[in-house]
């Protein structure tokens, strides 16, 4: 009998590109993932991974198994969902992935309320960029994901995922109160083309939007400081080291020494949505978590 947990581990390697990344996504050590796949190889009698340089790639047999397992795992998931729904049980585990500002502004209040209303639902959380979250939810490594799409730009999602809109968030340019632009009601890219910027690293979606904001302005934005955390961006602005584009979701009060001004033409907005696999749509525990996220988004209000 094929070990389904080991198949999930193999699928994680295929999705994440390495044993170490698969372990991180699944909450296991790389050694544990390797051992699962080795047991699967012994059980099937075929080699599923092969070493290439310092990493690994799936063999033809490994890729075939990953492809063939998609429908099977979805069917098993649907069976489990149907059983739980029939029993009326709102219990079990819903593995959640979300981006950092959603963790602060949406997930924390949602899970706080869920703990009181549905104590039998466990929600292990991991923080991830939207692209990674999409891949993890689609492949079964996570059950529910919270992602964002900047400026109406589509985030590619597989057909087996269902999206639930949560809110539209606004990002403002954060400046020191003594900055020459601090009195403006809104800021255009032309106003900001000569500024020194603090931003997230190059590979992030937020950085991609910042570049898109300055389409047609050669040399802008001039990013001098990089940090993954928007709270760090705010402090770097406070120190006089540049300006930053900081979303409102999960943002703490800035204080009197800083101002936040929205951009115009284009406006810097992002749609925040929750994603889950279609086969989990009737899961009572997933619906409970999703309802808690929707309630937290409603409480945050529009334009957050």
DSSP type of residue 280: G
Average pLDDT over residues 61-74: 82
- Tokens representing 65 are 């198994």
Residue 72: pLDDT band (50, 70, 90) is confident
Query: Fold identical between 4-85 and 93-304?
Result: no
Angle at 140 between CA 66 and CA 208, to 5 degrees: 100
Q: What is the 3-state secondary structure (H, E, C) of 163-187?
A: EEEEEEEEEEEEEECCCCCCCCCCE
> Could you tell me which residue, 114 or 21, shows the higher pLDDT?
114
Residue 49: pLDDT band (50, 70, 90) is confident
Tens digit of each residue's pLDDT (9 = 90 or more) over 236-280: 999 999 999 999 999 999 999 999 999 999 999 999 999 999 988
> Which range among 64-68, 69-73, 90-94, 174-178 has the greatest average pLDDT?
174-178
Collapsing DSSP states into helix, strand and coil, what is residue 53? coil
Is a pLDDT exceeding 80 seen at residue 154?
no
> Could you tell me which residue, 47 or 79, shows the higher pLDDT?
47
Mean of pLDDT over the chain: 90
**Exposure b/e, 68-84, CB count within 10 A at least 16 = b:** ebeeebbeebbeebeeb
Could you tell me the sign of the dihedral formed by the alpha carbons of 134, 210, 199, 270, in that order?
A: negative
> Could you tell me which residue, 153 or 144, shows the higher pLDDT?
144
CATH 3.40.190.290, applies to 93-304 = yes
Helices (H), 45-59: none
How large a percentage of the chain has pLDDT more than 90?
58
In angstroms, the CA 139 to CA 136 distance is 5
The CATH topology of domain 4-85 is: Arc Repressor Mutant, subunit A (1.10.10)
Average pLDDT over residues 156-181: 95
Give me the residue spans of the domains in the chain. Answer: 4-85, 93-304
What does DSSP say about strands 243-247 and 144-150: parallel, antiparallel, or unpaired?
A: unpaired
In angstroms, the CA 86 to CA 80 distance is 10
Residue 303: pLDDT band (50, 70, 90) is low
Is a pLDDT exceeding 80 seen at residue 222?
yes
Looking at residue 87, what is its pLDDT? 62
What does DSSP say about strands 144-150 and 269-277: parallel, antiparallel, or unpaired?
A: antiparallel
- Rounded (10°) CA dihedral 175, 180, 184, 190: -90
Which of 22-26, 173-177, 299-303 has the weakest average pLDDT? Answer: 299-303
Q: What's CA 268's distance to the chain center, in Å?
A: 19
In angstroms, the CA 288 to CA 96 distance is 13
Collapsing DSSP states into helix, strand and coil, what is residue 12? helix
In angstroms, the CA 111 to CA 289 distance is 8
For 31, other C-beta atoms within 10 Å of its C-beta total 11
What does DSSP say about strands 258-262 and 243-247: parallel, antiparallel, or unpaired?
A: unpaired
Q: Are 130 and 82 in contact (CB under 8 A)?
A: no
**pTM of the entire structure?**
0.77
């Amino acid at each position: 009998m094929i070990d389904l947990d080991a198949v999930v581990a193999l699928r994680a390697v295929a999705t994440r590109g390495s044993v170490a990344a698969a372990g991180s996504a699944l909450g296991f050590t790389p050694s544990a993932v390797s051992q699962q796949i080795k047991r699967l190889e012994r059980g099937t009698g075929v080699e599923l991974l092969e070493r290439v340089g310092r990493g690994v790639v799936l063999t033809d047999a490994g890729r075939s198994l990953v492809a063939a397992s998609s429908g099977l795992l979805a069917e098993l998931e649907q069976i489990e969902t149907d059983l739980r729904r029939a029993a009326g049980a709102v219990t079990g585990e819903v593995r959640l992935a979300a981006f950092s500002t959603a963790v602060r502004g949406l997930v924390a209040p949602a899970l706080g309320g869920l703990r009181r209303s549905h104590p039998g639902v466990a929600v292990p959380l991991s923080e991830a960029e939207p692209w990674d979250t999409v891949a993890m939810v689609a492949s079964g490594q996570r059950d529910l994901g919270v992602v964002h799409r900047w400026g109406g730009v589509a985030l590619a999602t597989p057909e087996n995922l269902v999206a639930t809109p949560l809110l539209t968030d606004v990002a403002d340019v954060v400046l020191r109160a003594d900055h020459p632009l601090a009195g403006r009601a809104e800021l255009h890219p032309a106003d900001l083309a000569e500024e020194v910027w603090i931003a997230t690293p190059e590979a992030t979606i937020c950085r991609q939007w910042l570049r898109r904001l300055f389409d047609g302005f050669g040399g802008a934005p001039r990013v001098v400081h990089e940090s993954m955390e928007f709270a760090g961006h705010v402090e770097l602005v406070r120190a006089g080291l540049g300006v930053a584009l900081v979303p409102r979701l999960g943002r703490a009060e800035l204080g009197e020494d800083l101002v936040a001004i929205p951009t115009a033409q284009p406006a810097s907005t992002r749609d925040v949505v929750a994603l889950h696999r279609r086969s989990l749509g009737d899961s009572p525990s997933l619906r409970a978590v999703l309802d808690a996220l929707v309630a937290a988004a409603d409480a945050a209000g529009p334009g957050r």
